[in-house]
């Protein structure tokens, strides 16, 4: 609601990552009712110190605090904080979402999982190595091939971004990248756990947990393995679920 040179914002948002650490938040607020549901949405920046904002922590399954529920009760925000035009927020959001889809593929994490799996392959196990077992190496090779395909897709999306290409094809490619990258993170994490056999379900502590007991097998490589795999379940949800990404791809008429 507009009140002079301020908007008065009311509402609630769950799953707000790092709201407890943020100085600012961007909000998509409804400022108009229109038949087209994407119209009438406004993009605005809000100082997190503004009165009326409450941040409630949510502790996720990995035991960490990344997530929050945020409440906005009569929060007064200067009209000067508007980005773009009133009611024009969806256009900006589409651009940001495509960037988010592409980055959640998270190539650095995939490369780290690859390094962990390779370290496991080389480590001695019952007089041999996992890398000497065809079932292990075939599965690792398949994941590595998929990873290299994703690395090429990342470059392609980055080149399209750089060329200012915001076509439906560019959006669909961002969605494809999100699906493939996040599913691969889950599969490689799961493979790490399976490959550790009986030690797979054991909670390997983080280096900063100050674990003082006997070192667990491969502790330097496998720290945080199980808690991370739990958190990675969320990758196919956050930034827009895989089902939504598949819907975007299915609706896109494009040619590469």
Ligand X SMILES: Cc1cc2nc3c(=O)[nH]c(=O)nc-3n(C[C@H](O)[C@H](O)[C@H](O)COP(=O)(O)OP(=O)(O)OC[C@H]3O[C@@H](n4cnc5c(N)ncnc54)[C@H](O)[C@@H]3O)c2cc1C
Q: How many CB atoms lie within 10 A of CB 109?
A: 19
CB of 118 to ligand X, least distance (A): 28
Task: Output the smallest distance, CB 67 to ligand X, in A.
Answer: 6
- The whole-angstrom separation of Cα 227 and Cα 204 is 8
The CA angle 39-69-79, to the nearest 5 degrees, is 45
Q: Distance (Å, rounded) from C-alpha 26 to C-alpha 95?
A: 14
Smaller CB distance to ligand X: residue 144 or 224? 224
Q: Which residue, among 68, 55, 105, has the nearest Cα to 242 in the 3D structure?
A: 105
Identify which of residues 40 and 239 has a Cβ nearer to ligand X in the complex: 239
Comparison of 67 and 82: residue with beta carbon closer to ligand X? 67
Q: Which is nearer to ligand X, 21 or 155 (CB)?
A: 21
CB of 184 to ligand X, least distance (A): 18
| Residue 147 C-beta: closest distance to ligand X, Å | 23
Tokens of 179: 């699906």
Nearer to ligand X, 125 or 240 (CB): 240
CB-wise, 67 or 177, nearer to ligand X? Answer: 67
Q: Which residue, 211 or 233, has its beta carbon nearer to ligand X? A: 233
Nearest Cα to Cα of residue 161 among 176, 174, 145: 174
Distances (CA, A) of 88 to 40, 93, 98, 177, 249: 7, 9, 17, 27, 24
- Residues lying near ligand X in the complex (CB under 6 A) are found at 15-17, 67, 234, 237-241, 243-244, 247
C-alpha to C-alpha distances, 187 to 16, 17, 38, 140, nearest whole angstrom: 26, 24, 35, 11
Taking the C-alpha atoms of residue 173 and residue 190, their distance in angstroms, rounded to an integer, is 26
Nearest partner of 218 among 202, 235, 240, judged by Cα: 202
Structure tokens at 88: 């024009």
Closest distance of CB 226 from ligand X, Å: 17
* Shortest distance (Å) from residue 219 CB to ligand X: 27
Distance, C-alpha 146 to centroid of its chain: 19
Q: How far is the CB of 53 from ligand X (least distance, A)?
A: 15
């Amino acid at each position: 609601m507009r009140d002079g040179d301020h908007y008065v914002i009311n509402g609630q948002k769950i799953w707000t990552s790092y709201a407890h650490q943020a100085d600012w938040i961007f909000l998509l607020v409804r400022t108009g009712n229109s038949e087209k549901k994407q119209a009438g949405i406004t993009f605005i920046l809000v100082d997190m110190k503004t009165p009326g904002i409450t941040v409630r922590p949510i502790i996720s399954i990995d035991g960490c605090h990344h997530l929050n529920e945020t409440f906005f009760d009569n929060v007064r925000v200067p009209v000067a904080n508007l980005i773009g035009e009133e009611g024009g927020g969806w256009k900006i959001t589409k651009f940001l979402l495509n960037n988010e889809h592409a980055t959640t593929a998270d190539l650095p994490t995939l490369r780290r999982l690859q390094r962990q799996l390779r370290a496991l392959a080389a480590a001695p196990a019952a007089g041999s190595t996992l890398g000497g077992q065809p079932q292990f190496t075939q599965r690792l090779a398949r994941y590595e091939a998929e990873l290299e395909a994703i690395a090429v897709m990342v470059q392609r999306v980055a080149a399209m971004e750089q060329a200012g290409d915001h076509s439906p094809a560019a959006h669909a490619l961002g969605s494809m990248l999100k699906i493939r990258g996040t599913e691969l993170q889950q599969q490689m994490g799961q493979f790490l756990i399976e490959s550790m056999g009986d030690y797979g379900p054991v909670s390997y502590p983080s280096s900063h947990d100050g674990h003082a007991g006997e070192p667990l097998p491969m502790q330097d490589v496998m720290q945080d393995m199980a808690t991370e795999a739990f958190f990675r379940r969320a990758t196919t949800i956050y930034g827009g679920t895989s089902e939504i990404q598949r819907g975007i791809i299915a609706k896109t008429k494009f040619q590469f």
